[in-house]
Amino acid sequence: MKKIFLSIIILFTASCKDEVSRKNNTQEIILKHGHVIVPESNPVFKKIKTAVVTSQEHSDGILSAGTIQAIPNHYAEIASPFSGRITKSFIQLGQNVSAGSPLFEILSSDYFSVQKDYTDALNEVQLAEKNYKRQQDLVRHGVGIQKELDEAETDFKNKKTALSNASAALKVYNSKGGGLGKPLIVRAPINGEIISNTIVNGQYLKSDADPVIIIAELSRVWISGDVKEKDIRFVNTGDHVSVKVSAYPDTNITGKVYHINEMVDENTRSIKVLIECDNPGRKLKPGMYATVNFSTAPEKTIMIPVTALMQSDGSQYVWVKTGKNQFTKRMVATGETDQKTTRIISGLKTGEIIITEGGIYLPDAR
């Protein structure tokens, strides 16, 4: 009787073990030929969320660090053209001036020499002209010699050329050849604001001294930025860009691509791009750093949630649904990533189904 009872217990225990084994087998994740099969009874199945891959309009943003600078034609550094002593200043720091406005006057013996050359050339032209007219009159009345007339004409032409050169020398210094011995008045070459002024009355300046005045017209400025060689195809002259500076983080500044350099910097593999933008309130100061955002034209592209992207040995992959409860690892190439989505360059097609959440729980299937 005991033997019969023991046999029943053994048979019942074996039956229970078989039942537990069958239940465990139905819950196990199966790895088969590079695929992962997740039974619905497995706890991981409830953690998996999927979505259909779709394409959407997307615009990449290209960021570049830039430096604000004055537009060259709107910027002038004024140095003394001659060695001499400053006798008078007409301006002060922050003052707005117009082209041709007097800045300072300087007494210089070198400038006196230029003035004298002009005065001498003017006198010689007047004498040569009188002689030429006299020879014309003599020949006209039959008492002159043609050779002397020709020589007088040649001399007159030469003297006019010398006067023209002397006059040009004075015009370089914005002078019209005033009275001999008068100081040189240095004038503003452009409209703008005096942003630097180191003039001191009575100081002596050498002709090779550093600039003493800087004038800038800063209602518009340039921002010089660098765009990577691989991204330059997205940037075109005339494109609108957004600009941010740390000094005014809440201010939206817009600009326009003014010029794209033709040369590539071999060290950085980047190309210099100039952006021109308005500068209301003169907030943008030359030398400031700026962040430039070049917006590219929208195009159809695949974007997936960042939670769908897996990492392995420096590579990126997603889980693609390839059958009922069956998933396969697919390597992908990615582009721009923000806080929520990642752009897929290659590896996925629209219409495919991928795991968007829970992929981390799947075992590696190789």
Taking residue 74's Cβ as centre, other Cβ atoms within 10 Å add up to: 17
Cα distances from 40 to residues 19, 43, 207, 289, 327, in angstroms, run 18, 8, 90, 57, 13
Instruction: Reply yes or no on whether the pLDDT at 19 is more than 60.
Output: no
Say which residue, 351 or 336, is predicted with more confidence.
351
Query: Which pLDDT score, from 0 to 100, does residue 95 have?
Result: 94
Query: Which pLDDT score, from 0 to 100, does residue 141 have?
Result: 85
CA of residue 3 relative to chain centroid, distance? 94
The rounded percent of the chain whose pLDDT value lies above 90 is 45
Say which residue, 21 or 149, is predicted with more confidence.
149
Q: Which of 284, 286, 359 is nearest to 316 (CA)?
A: 359
CB 353 within 8 A of CB 341: no
**Structural tokens at position 153:** 């004409």
* Rounded distance between C-alpha atoms, residue 294 and residue 273, angstroms: 11
pLDDT in tens, 340-351: 888 898 999 999
Instruction: Reply yes or no on whether the pLDDT at 16 is more than 60.
Output: no
Residue 316 has φ and ψ, to the nearest 5°, of -125, 145
As a whole number, the mean pLDDT across the chain is: 85
* Mean pLDDT in residue range 108-126: 86
Instruction: For residue 16, give every residue at least 6 positions away whose Cβ sits within 8 Å of its Cβ, in sequence order, or none.
Output: none
3-state secondary structure of 240: strand
CB 286 within 8 A of CB 322: no
pLDDT in tens, 238-287: 988 888 898 888 888 889 999 999 999 999 899 999 999 999 888 899 99
* Mean pLDDT in residue range 95-112: 90
3-state secondary structure of 289: strand
**Residue 121, burial from CB neighbour count under 10 angstroms (0-12, 13-18, 19+):** buried
Instruction: Reply yes or no on whether the pLDDT at 50 is more than 90.
Output: yes
* Rounded distance between C-alpha atoms, residue 37 and residue 356, angstroms: 17
Instruction: Reply yes or no on whether the pLDDT at 173 is more than 70.
Output: no
Q: Which residue ranges form the domains of the chain, and what is each CATH number? A: 26-57+299-361 (2.40.420.20), 63-73+218-295 (2.40.30.170), 81-215 (2.40.50.100)
Instruction: Reply yes or no on whether the pLDDT at 210 is more than 70.
Output: yes
Query: Which pLDDT score, from 0 to 100, does residue 297 have?
Result: 61
pLDDT in tens, 219-239: 999 999 999 988 888 888 998
Band of the pLDDT at 328, cuts 50, 70, 90? very high
Q: Which helix (H) or strand (E) holds 264?
A: strand 248-265
Instruction: Reply yes or no on whether the pLDDT at 15 is more than 90.
Output: no
Q: SS3 for 209-236, per residue?
A: CCCCEEEECCCEEEEEEEEEHHHHHHCC
Cα distances from 211 to residues 61, 79, 99, 183, in angstroms, run 41, 4, 18, 19
Concatenated DSSP letters of 106-150: EE-HHHHHHHHHHHHHHHHHHHHHHHHHHHHHHHHTT-S-HHHHH
